[in-house]
Amino acid sequence: MEYRYMGKTGLQLSVLSFGSWVSFHKQIDDSIADTLMGIAYDHGVNFFDNAEVYALGESEKMMGRVLKNKNWERSSYVLSSKVFWGWRGKGNRPNQHGLSRKHIVEACHEALERLQTGYLDLYYCHRPDKKVPIEEVVWTMHHLIQQGKILYWGTSEWSGVEIMEAHRVAQQYGLIGPVVEQPQYNLLERNKIENEFLTIFNTVGLGTTIWSPLASGLLSGKYNEGIPEDSRFALSGFDWLKDRWMQESFLTKVKGLGALAKELGISQAAMSIAWCIRNPHVTTAILGATKKEQLNENLKALDALPLLTDEVMQQIEGIVKTKPVLPEY
């Protein structure tokens, strides 16, 4: 396993990590979660990602039970949660979601309880909250760090402007600013990492824990001939995700990538994940899996990495044609 420093911090994350969105509680039980986290940890994965909203709190509870059962040294892994949507779904009342001081603090306490841990290594604002002053968010996160309840804080799907506004506030008051962002990044979704955040990487610094490296599984090629019954796009309540990705233009590209992966003698999933972590601005790619075969295949991205030469990267580019266009001189 390779480990990378998270932006300008002293924290090292394994370049492949593991998350629980959709899968934990909705698709897999404690026993499979235990197997998958065990496989990940044994391969050197040291970062496990979660959020209050995943399976409405049940995902954190499941990960907490697995971690308790594993009894790994707490210092050997990095654990995260995220605040924004709350965990009551449509039952949320005012202050039970969003980024007010009240919800951030209460959500943190609840996440600690569900995960059965004394502190979170990383705590993310899962989305920007346009109704809450960024000052309130930065002060609250700073206090949680001072209280030892979280060690680092960051954002997810914030714009570059919002991240820099948080830094402006932090600098103004001498507070700890956000050090990590969790954006989507894969062969079909590239703008934030390859364009919007470039100035931030070069100035205040920013770690990135990227999500959906396989575009919810699409880039594994599993949807090329339709939607398998036991797959994410077949789940009820996920039509929005299926509609987002099951488009002819994407599937044509995915099929092209499949042919190239075959030539290279690697799986399409491993190639697509390796492509993500080949970018040095990516600290870690968070993997998702519902079966141990998937996770074992995805961990082979580390072996696939050296095969992605400049020439192969150009071939990939020729297939996907998704590189953001930047001004040239």
Ligand X SMILES: NC(=O)c1ccc[n+]([C@@H]2O[C@H](COP(=O)([O-])OP(=O)(O)OC[C@H]3O[C@@H](n4cnc5c(N)ncnc54)[C@H](OP(=O)(O)O)[C@@H]3O)[C@@H](O)[C@H]2O)c1
Rounded to a whole number of angstroms, the minimum distance from the CB of residue 20 to ligand X is 5
Contact between 134 and 162 (Cβ < 8 Å): yes
Residues in CB range of 4: below 8 A, 6 or more apart = 12, 13, 15, 283, 284
Does 212 engage in binding with ligand X (CB under 6 A)?
A: yes
Rounded to a whole number of angstroms, the minimum distance from the CB of residue 50 to ligand X is 7
Q: Which of 146, 63, 52, 60 is nearest to 99 (CA)?
A: 52
CA atoms within 13 A on the CB side of 14: 24
Q: State which residue, 140 or 272, has the beta carbon closest to ligand X.
A: 272
Tokens representing 263 are 């030539």
CA 151 to CA 146: how far, in whole Å? 9
Contact between 180 and 124 (Cβ < 8 Å): yes
What backbone torsions phi and psi does residue 156 show, to the nearest 5 degrees? -140, 125
Please choose, out of 16-24, 38-46, 67-75, 164-172, the segment that lies near ligand X by the rule CB under 6 A. Answer: 16-24
CA 116 to CA 95: how far, in whole Å? 24
Give residues 28-57 in contact with ligand X (rule: CB under 6 A). 49
| Catalytic residue from among 54, 123, 124, 223 | 54
Binding ligand X by CB under 6 A: which of 16, 163, 289, 320?
A: 289
Rounded to a whole number of angstroms, the minimum distance from the CB of residue 7 to ligand X is 16
Does 182 engage in binding with ligand X (CB under 6 A)?
A: yes
Assess whether 54 carries a catalytic annotation: yes
What is the contact mask toward ligand X in residues 132 to 171, using x (rule: CB under 6 A)?
A: ------------------------xx--------------
Burial bucket for residue 173 (CB in 10 Å: 0-12, 13-18, 19+): exposed
Q: State which residue, 128 or 177, has the beta carbon closest to ligand X.
A: 128
- Residues with catalytic roles: 54
Residues that bind ligand X in the complex, under the rule CB under 6 A: 19-21, 23, 27, 49, 156-157, 182, 211-217, 220, 222, 231-232, 269, 286-290, 294, 297-298
